[in-house]
Structure 1
């Protein structure tokens, strides 16, 4: 769908919860925290984890965070005990009790990170190591975007990996690891089974999660004004997300 600015805000969450059995899937960066110049520079709102657990209880546990960060990195910024989560773009998934869901995530093949390290150094971009992937950050120098993307695509092609573009970043992951797959995996397990799924996210990588929700009879909510998008509704920014969720 083009024209993201023409999308209307979603109906009030309280009303939707009265009408349907909802499940919420939330991106993290750009949705629950503002994007920062570097991944470790984000500012996490006070008591965010506690507020998310309260929201999860309102939904009888039908809440999951789905982020490009590794689960370990996410936990370092926001304690996630008691909240279902998927990290590394859905490659690693666990329920609210901390039990793994689906197949175990695989790390990058031997030698790939060394290749990325050398390439990032030569390009002058930052390399972020992840448990199940890696990311090249060029937010500080947007002029490096095409070079970084081309280099990532070359490495991915050589090793049958996948490339994911984001805001100021390009990531290398295992093929098939995406946020749509995470949504579908959660929907196979209680308490998400037979619910109406809603995905809230801001970046290109969130489109897979929104599409999976659309396919299951739910919908996506775009944060910001990016287009094109498969989202059906739009919230303008992170504070608008908090207002809609009553966080």
Structure 2
């Protein structure tokens, strides 16, 4: 199986080989958000992972929490996620934050303004091929997005190698990028990643001139960790210790919500 980093094929090795440090990470300080911009992954960071992505929802507690965070940071809040931005809007309603959707390929701003590249021409064929694969393998699900599509095999882990081989073949045929994730693999538009999305937003109001902080759980979030470090900020890894470019770590979703609540109180 192989991975792609910023559009280049590299062998998919251990997670530690793809990242920068293996040092035990401390808990982030409560005052980390002072003068900061906050960028948040969604699945596995703000909400628990589920066997089916359509079972995930934003509960009332989370909606209230992010409203408080966005207010405290004067709007310097964004969700940077592999999900389509429209799905985040559906879960949150009127959003008080920016969304970098589809792994940072597309953007949606408060008020409804959107930005993104042209849709990949070969995407309809890719979706047909993925759906045919899922129909032939019990427990495999297809998730479609504006700029890509993913195979989820959490309920059928034995097909991992076959799913990734199919993804590599389709990516090569259609000029797409392979984006591995936790028990899934995605094909998406080749342009952009979470790090590039954060860099773009940090050049715009209201983020410009602040210090970025990014929370994420997956290897797909490493681009974001490296981007915020280069900009003088800090990444926060969510979940077990592993090699990472993040500076701090929180144990899981519950710890994220607790830390955000306390950080907002400290900031206010």
TM-score (norm 1): 0.90
Any unmatched runs of 5+ in structure 2?
1-19
Quick one: distance in 1 between partners of 2:33 and 2:86? Answer: 31
Counterpart residue number, 2:147 = 132
The Cα RMSD (Å) is 1.8
Say whether the 8 Å CA contact 1:202–1:222 is kept in structure 2: yes
Deviations 1:176-228 (A, max 9, x none): 23111110111111011111101101011111111111111111100001522
Matches within 5 A, 1:141-180: 141-180=156-195
Say whether the 8 Å CA contact 1:108–1:173 is kept in structure 2: no
Cα distance, 1:116 vs structure 2? 2.2
Matches within 5 A, 1:88-99: 88-99=102-113
Counterpart residue number, 2:13 = none
Say whether the 8 Å CA contact 1:49–1:80 is kept in structure 2: no
Counterpart residue number, 1:16 = 32
Counterpart residue number, 1:26 = 40
| Cα gap change, 1:189 to 1:30, in 2 (>3 Å) | same
Counterpart residue number, 2:220 = 205
Tell me, what secondary structure is at the counterpart of 1:90? coil
Any unmatched runs of 5+ in structure 1?
none
Deviations 1:41-75 (A, max 9, x none): 12533242232122111001100001111112222
Q: How many residues align?
A: 241
Counterpart residue number, 1:181 = 196
Which consecutive segments of 4 or more residues in structure 1 shift more than 6 A?
none
